[in-house]
A and B are shown apart, each in its own frame.
Chain A
Amino acid sequence: MPTVLNLELSVNGEPRQLLVPPHHSLLEVLRERCGLTGTKHGCELGECGTCTVLLDGEPVLACLVLAAECVGRRIETVEGLSVGAELHPLQRAFADLGAAQCGYCTPGMLMTAKALLDENPRAEEMEIREALAGNLCRCTGYWKIIEAVQWAGRILAGDPTPPAILREPSEVKGGCSHG
């Protein structure tokens, strides 16, 4: 019989004491044991990036990490992004730019982007594309996400100027809002 482990996890700064069999992934534990369904899943094989969460500040695929290996580490999910009712600048930028369409890849996208901006709020377009290259999105064509991450980076660096398409709607008629 498999043993059941008594795990003490820290999720979004909150302690969680759980009895978990060793073969359960962090994804299963977050969604099915902690009730944190904000973290989604698209393949469970590490191929799509949908289940990305932060572990000690680094983006990891929750489907490929055993919950038992997360003891003593800082787990952050999309539910922990906002402070109280205040949205994180990334969440605001994603919401305002339409960077979330179906919204299913969004939590993973936000967490990967957070790790990037925590390290470098001035990340440039190519750095953003590289950092997010393991997170697939089928709706947006990625550009609204890139713009949102750039904008959130500006907000974090103290410059809240919104992208052109939000300043003056007619600008989009003149052509590209991103190069």
Chain B
Amino acid sequence: MLRLPEFTLHQARSLQEACALVAEAPQSTRLLAGGTDLLPNMKRRHQHAQRLVALRNVSELRGVAGHGSGEMRVGAMSTLSQLARNQELQKSWPGFVRALRSISSPVLRTTGTIGGNLCLDTRCNYYNQSEEWRQAIGGCMKEVGDTCWVAPSSSHCWAISASDSAPLLCAIGARVRLASVRGERVIPLEQLFVDDGIAYLGKAADEVLVDILLPPVANTRATYWKLRRRGSIDFPVLGVGAALRLDAHGVVEHVRIYLGAVASAPLRAEKAEEALLGQPLTEASVRAAGEAARGVANALDNTDFTMLWRRQMTAVWVEGALRELGGLAPRAHMPEMPLGAPGMVV
């Protein structure tokens, strides 16, 4: 049986206590939220920590507050299944709920948290392996050694951001609140991510992710399309988070499209946005936006499927998401999220 390494466990009872505990030794401490990413990584000895600070009992990190008409606050320790069941979210941000329900599997979502999904360690086929496996290849840049096996001549790590919630939340312009003994700050969510497979979080080691602030809905339409092999369990090999607003004439007046699982951070597809801005959502415009997105993503051989095909699929998936937002008929045979599934109920 794979087992965890030894550590000490500190169960914080308040946000202040959590911040103080992590500040004592930020480099050797990890925050334990749901544990569904951290604990497997620690079992495989990619992530090391002498101390864990558990956030389960920190009430400030829980709950959902507000309504879609104004700003909503989502506590970082809310579990993915709690949020997916939340009626206000279902009503205001169905695209967010769709993203939540696509994460891993139902039995993991009861434990995994939204904060944990946003802070998910970047992933790579050469990294998410056992200690023995990594020894057999001599390690990789993300952990030890200096070679990125995905691109051996590269000077940086290409591990990918595999969060399903991040592209959608970036697209709707969510912000996050971070707290530490030094105080609090609120930053746009996209600033939480750095396009570097190793130092992928724009958050100091002693900062605690407190909550996610969703902007007022204000006619924003948003959705998330996920490409993966199976109907459940799998991480995305491509995620498309798209949000847009139409003016009174049905012309796109605001649009944000973020791609997940193609870079070390959610990647904004500005060219695709440009193709839509000022246009109505038509067969031609959504297709053009999809084509424009194709070149944005530089998928590499670091996850399931081949990289060339994943690049091709960017266009198809972006178009699919935009068709949904525009109320256009889905393309014939368009598979819904899971590959083999007869149909996905979202």
Contact = CB atoms under 8 A, between A and B. Distances in A.
Interface of A: 2-3, 5, 21-25, 27-28, 41, 43-47, 49, 52, 55, 58-61, 64-66, 68-69, 108, 112, 126-127, 130-136
A56 to B, nearest CB: 9
Interface in B1-15: 1-9, 11
A61 B108 contact: yes
Which of A3, A27, A41, A47 has the most chain B CB within a 10 Å cutoff? Answer: A47
A134 B40 CA distance: 16
Nearest to A71: B11
B62 interface: no
Interface string B86-126: 00000000000000000011111011000000000000000
A21 B105 CA distance: 28
Contacts of A58: 81, 110
Contacts of B232: 130, 133-134
Given A28-B1, A59-B106, A61-B111, A133 B8 contact: no
A133 B111 contact: no
Nearest to A44: B2
B6 A21 contact: yes
Contacts of B4: 23-25
Contact of A45 (B2, B5, B8, B34): B2
Contact of B105 (A49, A66, A69): A49
B35 A64 contact: yes
A130 B109 CA distance: 12
Contacts of B40: 45-46, 64
Contact of B108 (A5, A22, A134): A134
A58 B8 CA distance: 27
A52 B109 CA distance: 12
A115 B313 CA distance: 37
B56 interface: yes
Contacts of A2: 6-8
Nearest to A23: B4
Q: Which 5 A-B pairs have the closest CB atoms?
A: A134-B105, A133-B232, A22-B9, A44-B2, A134-B107
Given A23-B4, A23-B5, A44 B43 contact: yes
Given A60-B111, A64-B108, A112-B107, A126 B345 contact: yes
A64 B112 CA distance: 10
A134 B11 CA distance: 29
B343 interface: yes
Contacts of B275: none
Contacts, number: 103
Given A25-B4, A45-B43, A64-B34, 20 more contacts: A3-B8, A23-B9, A27-B1, A28-B3, A44-B1, A44-B2, A45-B40, A46-B104, A49-B107, A58-B81, A59-B110, A64-B35, A64-B40, A65-B111, A66-B32, A69-B11, A69-B35, A130-B106, A133-B233, A135-B105
Contacts of A23: 3-7, 9
Contacts of B233: 47, 133-134, 136
B36 interface: yes
A169 B201 CA distance: 60
B110 A60 contact: yes
Contacts of B81: 58
A127 B6 CA distance: 39
16 contacts: A22-B7, A23-B7, A27-B1, A49-B107, A52-B107, A58-B81, A59-B110, A61-B36, A61-B108, A64-B35, A66-B35, A69-B11, A108-B107, A133-B105, A133-B232, A134-B107
B231 interface: yes
B20 interface: no
Nearest to A59: B107
A3 B111 CA distance: 25
A49 B108 CA distance: 9
Given A46-B36, A126-B345, A41 B1 contact: yes
Nearest to A108: B107
Nearest to B230: A133
B3 to A, nearest CB: 7
A179 B248 CA distance: 47
A66 B106 contact: no
